[in-house]
Structure 1
Amino acid sequence: MYENIEVLLDEFYKTYYKIEEINLNQVIKCLTTTELHVIEAIGDQLLTMNELSEKLGITMGTASVAINKLSEKNFIERERSDDDRRKVFVKLSKKGLLAYKYHNSFHSNILEKVTSEISKSKMETFIEVFETIVKNLNKVKKDIQPESILNFEKGDVIQVSNIKGSPAIKKYLNEKGINIKSLIKINDKNKHILSLLVDGDEKIINIEDAADIMVIRNYI
């Protein structure tokens, strides 16, 4: 059963995005599929580069390359924050909004065509089931996606997946016994320090250095 679900989902997305690619090549020839997805992610919002990269699930570098290209094509505008001049927002230009609205209309038309022979009751059941699947997928993503150790609380058991920061910070944490795959239990936490049980040994780490420890929750 699960194999059938995987095959169906794979076939759906391959076909759906192939149709999108064909339509894009016929109508908005100056945009790539990736650039169109960036436009779709921004929509009618003002987003920082960090917010955009998180929304798309891509790195800041990849997002910056896409934004630069869209800016050159006049689909994107940049706007500096009044409160913090270092912060820059991106938004769609008039040209970008036209592409966004057309693309949304395209998606609606395609979905209307492919569901036209399905009864309302079956569609409602499908939406309910798919919402549950997406909700559960997000739970799985949260469990396996590395995040800062500071997001966890006393008593949590986590495993180190990465150590960010400078070589000096990495060396300092390594000397504390904190390495990739180290198993850690948070014994105590306050605004200054973390008390950790690292592979069975108690360690004290200041909060600033601890922010560079990326971990995932451990359920064993």
Structure 2
Amino acid sequence: MIDEKSAAEAARKQDEKYINNALVDVYENIMRYEELQIRGSRFRDINARELHIVHAIGLHDHKTTTQVAQEFRMSKGTLTAHLNNLERKGYVERHRNAEDRRIINLGLTRKGRLLYRAHDAFHRRLVKGFLAGMDDDDRQLIKQALMNLETFLDEAQTKK
């Protein structure tokens, strides 16, 4: 009985080590692949952070600077620097809110909407490749694992 417990514990630790390494490798590979896709596209004048800010602004939401800064857990000052670059490059527009002039709503230009759609297609291809050959049960298990990770990360970041 003890040998079975020890073997099970050793297997669990080995699985956790593999999963840890795989998560790190997958994250790094996705970021590298995304950068390569940017560099090989007509949008090579932006970096991955700016790309994700464009994606966070969205096509029709007209989010505020505060909402986007909170989504990325960055200061409004840091976001403003990124927005200045994105605006200068022609991807983002800022609009004063009609009801409260202190609020800045963000929108995408035509160029920004094209970038958003290209990035969205990139992610759809990534997910399709990831889920290839999986059945509904597999997808639900992966979804649950990702929800667990998301919850853990959200809780860890709000404790700071």
SS at structure 1 position matched to 2:98: coil
SS at structure 1 position matched to 2:40: helix
Per-residue deviation at 1:23?
A: 0.6
SS at structure 2 position matched to 1:55: helix
CA distance in 2, matches of 1:133, 1:110: 19
TM-score calculated relative to the size of structure 2: 0.82
Corresponding position of 1:23? 37
Spell out, residue by residue over 1:79-108, the C-alpha distance to the aligned partner (whole angstroms, 9 max, x if none): 111122222211111211111011001110
CA distance in 1, matches of 2:39, 2:26: 20
Corresponding position of 2:18? 4
Corresponding position of 1:38? 53
Per-residue deviation at 1:130?
A: 1.9
Higher helix share: 2
Higher strand share: 1
Would you say 1:64 and 2:80 are equivalent positions?
yes
CA distance in 2, matches of 1:88, 1:124: 39
SS at structure 1 position matched to 2:27: helix
CA distance in 2, matches of 1:106, 1:11: 19
Would you say 1:54 and 2:67 are equivalent positions?
no
Per-residue deviation at 1:128?
A: 1.7
SS at structure 2 position matched to 1:74: coil
CA distance in 2, matches of 1:104, 1:127: 19
Supply the AA of the counterpart residue of 1:34.
R
Rg: which structure is higher? Answer: 1
CA distance in 2, matches of 1:96, 1:111: 22
TM-score calculated relative to the size of structure 1: 0.61
Structural RMSD (CA): 1.6
Question: Number of matched residues?
Answer: 144
Per-residue deviation at 1:42?
A: 0.7
SS at structure 2 position matched to 1:34: helix
Supply the AA of the counterpart residue of 2:140.
E
Percent of counterpart pairs with the same letter? 22
CA distance in 1, matches of 2:153, 2:45: 34
Supply the AA of the counterpart residue of 2:107.
K
Per-residue deviation at 1:31?
A: 1.5
